[in-house]
Amino acid sequence: MMGTAIFGGTPWWKDHAMSVGLLSLLDDVAGLAKLAAASLDDIGAHAAKAGGKAAGVVIDDAAVTPRYVTGFPAARELPMIGRIALGSLRNKLLILLPVALGLSVFAPWAITPLLMLGGAYLCYEGAEKVFEALVPHAAHAHEDQLEPVALAPRDLEDAKVASAIKTDFILSAEIMTIALATIPDGSLLVRAITLALVGIVITVLVYGGVALIVKADDLGVHLARSRAGLLAGIGRGLVKGMPVFLVALATLGTAAMVWVGGGILLHGLEELHLLSLAHWLEGLGQAVGGGLQGWAVFALGSGIFGLAGGLALIPVAQYAVAPALRAAKNLFKRG
């Protein structure tokens, strides 16, 4: 009783125990905070590295999308881009992210073949654009054989958006697979958060950039009507320059398709121990000084390989893949 009273009603040793416990708890919280901060730093670093590795596909994604909204009224351009962006997020977060993580856990051996399949598709798409530029009449006949089009005008926007989302699915699959291959083995949660971050950031950047590109000519027209001489000059420059920029962007997108797809195929073949051309190109790049020159050598070699492979796939798509798909569609309709 006296001891308790002397020390204010609570035994001194209980106060001491509570202080030690509180300090221990605070120390644990601080440790968890440091761990969380380190994990966030790791996620940010992994996401930045993965995004850099997928840069070629990102450029291609940004270059391909504007063509899907060309020819529509200006008031429908941004809503269409918004719909495509939402479809892209669904592709990445609800379909591709779980599939990629599942493959990394249960079937990591399948990642390289699937990545190569996507790379072959990119090579085919890029080669088809080159083929169209060189032999336009033959290319149009080839496209008519692959996918006859008979759409009512009111369904055109929905069809274009669906087509854009379908193309985005392939490109997003490449982005997510490249990102997954870049992230070091570790916590499944860290890999999932990193992939989600990569998917969200890339989607915002790509479709935000596409929106700016598509509406730049409208902004140019608005500025050209301004009474301020400088703003009017900028507006006229935008109006005149955007068609040239879009052509250059489309050309860059085609180049990105064949060099990214060719590079994916080369690395995949090397991993499967079927062809060591990727190693030879990397060695040649180091021999010319590395850095930007070395990257250019590897990109050029990958582009040549990708273009050759894509051109070889055009008759395969025309005479084997397209008839098989049509047969499958007909079978599905009958069922």
pLDDT tens digits, residue range 158-178?
888 888 888 788 778 878 877
Q: What is the pLDDT of residues 245-292, one digit of tens each?
A: 877 877 877 887 788 889 889 988 998 888 888 889 888 888 888 788
Residue 308: Cβ-neighbour burial (10 angstroms; 0-12, 13-18, 19+): middle
Q: N- to C-terminal Cα distance for the chain?
A: 89
Q: What is the CB-side half-sphere exposure of residue 243 using CA atoms within 13 A?
A: 3
Share of the chain above pLDDT 70, in %: 73
- Write down the pLDDT at residue 201: 85
Q: Does pLDDT of 2 surpass 60?
A: no
- Write down the pLDDT at residue 50: 52
Whether this prediction's pTM lies above 0.85 is answered by no
